[in-house]
Structure 1
Amino acid sequence: MSIVILASLLGIGLILLLAEVLFIPGTTVVGILGLVISLAGVIYAFSIYSAETAWWITGIAAILNLAAVIYGFRSGVWDKFSLKSAIKGGTFDGRTLGLEAGMKGKAISDIKPIGKASFEDSIYEVKSESGFIPVESEITIIKVENNKIIVK
Structure 2
Amino acid sequence: MLTIALLLLFGLLFLAAEVIFIPGTTVVGFVGFGLLAWGVWLGYRDLGTPSGNVALAGAGALAGMILYLGLRPKNLARAALNEVNDASVLDVRRADVPTGTLGRTLSALRPAGTVLFGEERREAVTRGEFVDAGREVRVLGIEQNRIVVAGA
Q: How many angstroms apart in 2 are the aligned matches of 1:103 and 1:21? A: 60
Write the mapping of 1:3-152 to structure 2, written as runs, cut at 5 A: 4-74=2-72, 76=75, 79-80=78-79, 82=81, 84-89=83-88, 99-109=97-107, 115-120=113-118, 122-128=119-125, 130=127, 135-143=133-141, 148=145, 150-152=147-149
Gap runs ≥5 in structure 2: none
**CA root-mean-square deviation:** 3.4
Moved more, 10-19 or 61-70: 61-70
Query: 2:64 and 2:112 mapped to 1: Cα distance?
Result: 60
Mapped contact 2:123–2:147 kept (Cα < 8 A):
yes
Q: Give me the TM-score of the superposition, normalised by structure 2.
A: 0.70
Amino acid at match of 1:151: V
**Deviation at 1:128?**
2.0
Please give the per-residue CA displacement for 1:53-100, whole angstroms capped at 9, x wherever unaligned: 42342132122113212322335265256363514226769x965x42
The normalised TM-score by structure 1 is 0.70
Mind listing any 5+ residue stretches in structure 1 that lack a counterpart?
none
Tell me the CA shift for residue 109 of structure 1.
3.8
Counting aligned pairs with the same residue, the percent is 26
